Amino acid sequence: MEVRTTALMRARHMLESQGRFPGGALPGDISDSWLRSLSHGLDPLARHEAMTLTDTEFRLSQDRHADLIRFARPELELLFDQIAGSNFMIALGSPEGVVLETLVDTQFADSDAGKAVVPASVWTEELRGTNALGLCISTRRPAQVYGGEHFLRAHSDVSCISAPIFDGRGGLAGVLDASSRSTVRQQHTAALVQMSASNIENCLIRSAHDRRIVLQFHPRPEYLGTLSVGMLVLEDDGAVHAVNRKGEMFLAGIRNLIGTGFNAIFEQRFEDVALRLAQGETLRVRDRMGSAVSMRCVANRASFALAVRLFSAANLPQARPTPSHPPETRNLFRDVVIEDEELIRRLRPLPKVATTGTPIFIMGETGTGKEITARLAHAASGRSGPFVAVDARTLGAEAEAALLGRPNGAKGLLEQAASGTLCIDEVSWLPHPAQATLLQVLDHGSFRHPADGREIRCPLFFISTSVSSLTEAVASGRLLPALRFRIEGFSIQLPPLRDRSDMDALARRFVRAQDDRADIDADALYLLGRHDWPGNLHELRSVIAQAVLRASGLCLTVEDFGGLVPVAAEPLAHAAACPQCAGVPWKESQCRSIRDTVRQSGGIAQAARTLGISRTTIYKHLLAQA
């Protein structure tokens, strides 16, 4: 590390004094980027200048990349929680290098770097020289730029890590970036950034192709639906329209996938397997290179249409799906681990309600799966339009314009969701005039555009979600009573994670989503089951992601969760020793001592240091409580 640092210092000195540098002094990607920066005529000693879009330009950029922003926002929040340090920020960039959104901690926000990396700022190599976001755009590969590796000395007090987000057609859809004031190389953070970028990519591909057949495939069937799944999007003639990066990896022996027919990739003809895939079956197929994969069809508009067409052609009316029947309900929810019988009971009417177009209200704590439940309802509705989701808290005073459209003619949320589904989170946060507008549209199915007064028809399926009841919102004066009765057609309350019986299944799903080879042992599952999980599924996913990255083996143990999951205080309050120590006086004394030390020190790591024993030993005494 010292040799590398010295080489970098020498390279910087030559760059700043002579306009050149020794070729072997830097990593190849950094060296190439410095050369490009020189070719752009940049001065490494130039002072930092504000390089941002105008308000109008930035608004157009946000509109152009609205889907990217929508799917990236929860990943930004999760990544921010996962890094969980200080003096850092998370940023989402467009393919043009424009920062679209940021999440930043207070310490970083007050720094020069925090004031430079802001929404609407531009970070291409042409303007800023070597930086991770710009380098990622230039190379279309993950990039890491630390301290003095930045071309401009003005940026040498920050380190940044970026990962590309692709659109499935070979194009760049965006860039995810994590920046900090630390110059220590952060491979843990780099892995988290790349995983989040892959998740955004998969969401984008699924959302953009609701009218095309989307296939998920993986060599191992238990990993379908996880982050590691391959995805193929098919045209009507069976040719590949799009493929995600995992899909390209699984089919690496087949060149030029885009435009290649399904029948040229796999040994089975699509016509022979389409009906079973459309019915929701998981099939084992073999590609032309001889590798077998498990495959299933994503439930979307195209798959429902294909099923109806094939059922009719085969003259099998008895095969028509009956959403109210329990097996079909389970099939609808196959992309979510749901083994909790009470939750299944609550969700069972959802397909039937969705097909009638009755407004749905979904209530649950943050992280309980409200949006994914809304997406399942949209898929079950069979509507031809898109699923459009928005958090009312982000709209502010611009809410009415966001709903109806802007005077410049830009489409509003209502028009975007025409013939589809509009999902509004925390609808009571809309200003009352916007609520009145929404009520009128839901009643009449149309509105007049503010730009030219023309009437726009927008029949839509409406879903609202919230952490609190609509009764509370009306009582506090936030929600108009008339709107409450219009949107509360069918209500579902999602249970918090601590009340679900399928905790183990969810944990295993999240583990395999991070690494399809990984698993988790029984003791670790018991530890997770004792935590309250105030952040619900978001928190569980974050904790498991960090545990997988720090684990030394492929099976997660209690030790891998040290410091990530607090041990419940209740077992420590009992005077009795744990069952494995009970009845042996010296063991009981030792056990009580360990429990008291954990309680007094406030954590297992500190208790281990105080007692001079391993954390694993402490966990054994805590987990053995009956």
334 pLDDT more than 80 = no
Q: Identify the band that residue 3 occupies on the pLDDT scale cut at 50, 70 and 90.
A: very low
Selected residue with higher pLDDT from 503 and 50: 503
Across the chain, mean pLDDT equals 85
In contact, 369 and 336? CB cutoff 8 Å:
yes
pLDDT in tens, 219-258: 988 788 777 899 999 998 899 999 999 999 999 888 889 9
pLDDT in tens, 17-28: 998 998 778 899
**Spatial CB neighbours of 614, under 8 Å, sequence gap ≥ 6:** 608
Q: Identify the band that residue 622 occupies on the pLDDT scale cut at 50, 70 and 90.
A: low
Interatomic CA distance for residues 383 and 361, integer angstroms: 18
DSSP conformation letters of 323-355? TTSHHHHHHHTTTS----HHHHHHHTTHHHHHH
570 pLDDT more than 80 = no
269 pLDDT more than 80 = yes
321 pLDDT more than 70 = no
Range of lowest pLDDT (81-90, 135-144, 360-369, 539-548)? 81-90
Domain 7-163+173-181 annotated CATH 3.20.20.150: no
- 196-213 mean pLDDT: 89
H or E segment to which residue 387 belongs:
strand 387-391
Third-level CATH fold of 336-493: Rossmann fold (3.40.50)
* 424 three-state secondary structure: strand
pLDDT in tens, 76-130: 888 888 886 678 899 999 999 999 999 998 888 888 888 899 999 999 999 999 9
Interatomic CA distance for residues 65 and 200, integer angstroms: 13
What pLDDT sits at residue 119? 95
* 521 three-state secondary structure: coil
What pLDDT sits at residue 329? 41
468 pLDDT more than 80 = yes
49 pLDDT more than 90 = no
Angle (CA) 329 333 339, round 5°: 90
What pLDDT sits at residue 315? 46
Selected residue with higher pLDDT from 581 and 34: 34
Beta bridge partners of 217: 230, 295
Q: Taking the C-alpha atoms of 286, 287, 292 and 296 in order, what is their torsion angle to the nearest 10 degrees?
A: -80
DSSP conformation letters of 57-70? HHHHHHHHTHHHHH
What is the residue extent of each domain of the chain? 7-163+173-181, 209-319, 336-493, 499-623
Q: Taking the C-alpha atoms of 52, 53, 54 and 56 in order, what is their torsion angle to the nearest 10 degrees?
A: -150
Half-sphere exposure of 156 (CA within 13 A, CB side): 13
Beta bridge partners of 466: 363
Rounded alpha-carbon distances, angstroms, from residue 260 to 115, 141, 217, 229, 293: 47, 25, 17, 20, 18
Q: Identify the band that residue 327 occupies on the pLDDT scale cut at 50, 70 and 90.
A: very low
What pLDDT sits at residue 579? 72
Q: Identify the band that residue 4 occupies on the pLDDT scale cut at 50, 70 and 90.
A: low
70 pLDDT more than 90 = no
Sheet holding 143-146, edge to edge: 99-104, 88-93, 172-180, 159-166, 143-146
What pLDDT sits at residue 270? 93
Interatomic CA distance for residues 560 and 542, integer angstroms: 13
299 pLDDT more than 90 = no
Asked if 7-163+173-181 and 209-319 have one fold, the answer is: yes
Output the six-digit token pair for 240.
């590949």
408 pLDDT more than 90 = no
Number of residues that make up the chain: 626
Percent of the chain with pLDDT over 70: 88
Domain 209-319 architecture: 2-Layer Sandwich (3.30)
Q: Identify the band that residue 574 occupies on the pLDDT scale cut at 50, 70 and 90.
A: very low
CATH of domain 499-623: 1.10.8.60
When mean pLDDT is compared over 87-101, 179-193, 298-312, 410-424, the highest value belongs to: 87-101
